[in-house]
Amino acid sequence: MLLSAVFSTAPRWYAARWGKLLAGAGLLLGSLSAAAAPGPSPHPAAPPTARYWVRLRHKAGVQFSPAAYFSPAAQARRQRQHLPACDSTDFPVRPDFVRQITAVADSVTLVSRWFNAVACRATPGQAARLRRLPGVRSVEPWPVQTPVVASTKQANERGTMTISADDRQLARRQTASLGGAAFQQAGFRGQGLRIAIFDVGFLGAAQHPAFQRLLAEKRLVATHDFVRNRPNVFVSGTHGTEVLSCIAGLLPDGTPLGLAPQAEFLLARTERLNREIYAEEEAWLAAAEWADRNGADIINSSLGYTDRRYFPEQMNGRTSLVARAAELAVRKGILVVNAAGNDGEDPDWRTIGTPADADSVLAVGGLDPDTYLHIDFSSYGPSADRRVKPNVIAFGTVLAAAPGGYVRTQGTSFSSPLLAGFAACAWQQNRSLTVMQLFDQLQRCADLYPYFDYAHGYGLPQAAALLRPAAPAPRPRPSVDFVRQDTVLAVLIRPEAAVIPAQVLPLYSDSVTLVGGTRNTTVPAVGREELAPPLNKPGGNRPAQSQPPAEADPGLVPLVRPGYLYWHVADGRGVLRSYEVREVTQRAVLQIPLRTLRPGDTVRVCYRGLTQSYLVP
């Protein structure tokens, strides 16, 4: 499912979910009825085929040479991360097992080394025969599923070479928001890193001026279309072209649209435009094995799979084929960066999709460039087993390359490649890091860390924080005080932290209200994203800010978040029971009713980059 833009009660969700399934079943029954109707042919119809996943027992006797199979880049990646040259998951599937399955099944669609499995199409009778083969451990059917539209984007986008001042400013801000200037000054632009991009297609990329330098320098290492099993990926959709530009694209004046324009690339087509079928998860797995063999350091996947085939409780990082494939890729030293999803406003599915749900996949949410808050359509965490998701965020509205020029577009599809480029520069700075050490650093350098919530993760990674010397920084002075009163826990901003450009916050402006108002005294539900009090948005878009407008500086604008206070309540296991963002207009910023807190809860507040905690006795 493409991730370009686009919590209700349980009965409503299940009605919607089962409505989709019943609609698919109706189509299936209709087709079966049509097949059962008498026709002019005297021959009976052939039995229908379905998809099956055939798991094999072992790889005994298989010969394997990692030096002959893996590219030099792949071998070097494993050596840098102190990984073995190969393990049993790298060995090929036994050819005799594959031949036996091919002889019985209708067709074989995938042979996976990593899972020692074969995907095939077969009739029920063929599936029964497959189960009796000596090398077969199990034969599992894929659930019946009807192809449906997978994205709100119905047509490929067309760009224009006319770039407005506002668009040019957005192009600068999408990298400046991550501290891109610090990477550029240090000479980090992704040199020596190899990034694989899995997408629907890269239509127009081979001719686009945004990629002239990439192509001229022959940094497009390999391409493969896993949908049609051919090398040409410059077909089908423009989504991959836009995603690639958010890592390596350039404007005509040389302004980068992403942070790693000097990286090398592997382009894989893994998805059919406007369709979402299980074959796409097979293609994702095949592409991951291909990327591993060809030396990818990073996989960017702006794809996700949700209610067309899964339930929210299955977003646990262990259920879907792509989540398990992504975890295996990480075990082999590859950082997997995946868009969180665009279901934040969907009443039937609000949470992250898969493979963003996998534990060691860096899930990237969307940030609104106007407010510097979670953008409405971006999917929320946590994972089904209550882990922090998304992990980090980046701009969800960007300027990107598209056939014909450039286009302003939105979606967590584009947040993800912005972070993939950031990760490439971070790894370039220290190539000795293991993949999970890098993963940890990407979270730690985010501007909210160690605070987190299920909308922003740990926040927006900052290059300056990553490049900062290892010497411990001076301990910052607290910015807030927790004051326990008779019935409430009050949070007051300290006078020295209340001074912001052009004004000093009063202790009170009118009055401070209880969280949730006078009628609702419960702590806000998990995922509440209202600002309290509401933002003053001149023109309907931008909050009142102390920083000058972006138009004041035509260059890379230094960007900081507005004066927001982030707070959450976590239980003893670290799982959030509530979180909220407030615009600070007075020093007495928050009152939490004590009856809503439980012993062992932790109240955390992040203000001006400093996180402070209060443990409820």
Q: What is the pLDDT of residues 152-185, one digit of tens each?
A: 344 577 888 889 999 999 999 999 999 999 999 9
Of residues 361, 393, 356, the one with CA closest to residue 375: 393
pLDDT at 158: 81
Give the model's pLDDT for residue 25.
Answer: 39
Identify which of 31-40, 132-141, 306-315, 555-564 has the greatest average pLDDT.
132-141
Look up residue 461 and give its DSSP letter. Answer: B
* Alpha-carbon span 433 to 416, nearest angstrom: 21
Q: b/e per residue, 507-518, with b = 16+ CB within 10 A?
A: eeeeebebbbee
**Cα separations in angstroms, 72 against 76, 77, 85, 92, 292:** 6, 9, 11, 19, 11
Alpha-carbon span 118 to 291, nearest angstrom: 19
Q: What is the pLDDT of residue 572?
A: 93
Residue 510: its pLDDT value, please?
64
Nearest residue to 307 via CA among 345, 362, 351? 351
> Token digits for 189?
């632009």
Is pLDDT above 60 for 342?
yes
Does residue 26 register a pLDDT over 70?
no
| 243 closest CA partner among 188, 212, 184, 201 | 201
* Token digits of residue 465: 């924080």
With the C-alpha atoms ordered 262, 263, 267, 270, is the resulting torsion angle positive or negative?
negative
Q: What is the pLDDT of residue 468?
A: 82
Task: Please state the rounded mean pLDDT for residues 22-44.
Answer: 43
H helix or E strand, kind and range, residue 436: helix 435-444
Q: What was the pLDDT predicted at 122?
A: 96
pLDDT at 30: 39
Three-state DSSP state, 355:
coil
Q: At what angle do helices 321-331 and 279-293 cross, to 10 degrees?
A: 10
579: phi then psi, degrees, rounded to nearest 5: -160, 160
**CB 230 within 8 Å of CB 157:** no
Q: How far is Cα 572 from Cα 589, in angstroms, rounded to an integer? A: 25
Return d(Cα 283, Cα 271) in angstroms, integer.
7
Mean pLDDT of 349-355: 93
Q: Judge if the upstream peptide bond of residue 533 is cis by omega within 30 degrees of 0.
A: yes
pTM of the model: 0.85
Q: What stretch of H or E contains 292? A: helix 279-293
Under a CB-based contact definition with an 8 Å cutoff, are residues 420 and 301 in contact? Answer: no
Q: What is the pLDDT at residue 559?
A: 52
Q: What percent of the chain has pLDDT over 90?
A: 71
- Here the tokens at position 323 are 């989540």
Pick the more confident residue, 520 or 234. Answer: 234
Residues β-bridged to residue 365: 393
Q: For residues 164 and 514, which has the higher predicted lDDT (pLDDT)? A: 164
Q: What is the mean pLDDT of residues 478-499?
A: 92
More confident residue, 560 or 513: 513
Which tokens go with 596? 């809503």
Which pLDDT does position 306 carry in this prediction? 86
DSSP 498: S
Tell which residue, 391, 379, 404, 423, has the closest CA to residue 258: 423
Provide the 8-state DSSP code for 399: E
**Assigned token pair, 298:** 């990073």
What was the pLDDT predicted at 545? Answer: 37
From the centroid of its chain, how far is CA 306? 13
74: its two tokens: 């792949």
Distance in angstroms (rounded) separating the CA atoms of residues 472 and 33: 72
CA distances 498 to 241, 484, 493, 504, 563, Å, are 45, 20, 6, 6, 10
What is the rounded average pLDDT for all residues in the chain? 84
Least confident segment among 153-167, 285-299, 486-500, 551-565: 551-565
- The token duo for 10 is 């349980």
What is the rounded CA–CA span in Å between residue 203 and residue 210?
13
- pLDDT tens-digit map of 536-584: 333 444 443 333 333 334 444 445 566 899 999 999 999 999 999 999 9
**Residue 12 reports pLDDT greater than 70:** no
Q: What is the pLDDT of residue 471?
A: 63
In this prediction, residue 498 has a pLDDT band, given cuts at 50, 70 and 90, of: confident
Query: Residue 247's pLDDT is what?
Result: 98
pLDDT band at 476 (very low <50, low <70, confident <90, very high): confident
Residue 258 · residue 249 · CB < 8 Å: yes
Two structure tokens written together for 609: 């980059």
- pLDDT exceeds 90 at position 417: yes
Higher pLDDT, 429 or 536: 429
Contact assessment for residue 610 and residue 494, using Cβ atoms and an 8 Å cutoff: no
**pLDDT band at 511; cut points 50, 70, 90:** low
- The mean pLDDT of 195-206, rounded to a whole number, is 96
Tell me the C-alpha distance between 135 and 59, whole Å. 10
Asked whether residue 361 carries a pLDDT value surpassing 60, the answer given is: yes
The C-alpha atoms of residue 105 and residue 49 are separated, in whole angstroms, by 9
Q: Do the beta carbons of residue 191 and residue 428 sit within 8 Å?
A: yes
Can the peptide bond before residue 543 be classed as cis, meaning omega within 30 degrees of 0?
Answer: no
Residue 501's pLDDT is 66
Listed residue (196, 205, 201) closest to 159, CA to CA: 205
How far from the centroid of its chain's Cα atoms is residue 43's Cα? 50
> Which residue's structure tokens are 């286009």?
407
pLDDT digits (tens, 9 = 90+) for 48-99: 889 999 999 999 999 999 999 999 999 999 999 999 999 999 999 999 999 9
Instruction: Please tell me what DSSP assigns to residue 195.
Output: E
pLDDT at residue number 556? 45
The answer to whether the Cα torsion of 410, 413, 416, 418 is positive or negative is negative
Q: Given a cut of 90, is residue 412 above it in pLDDT?
A: yes
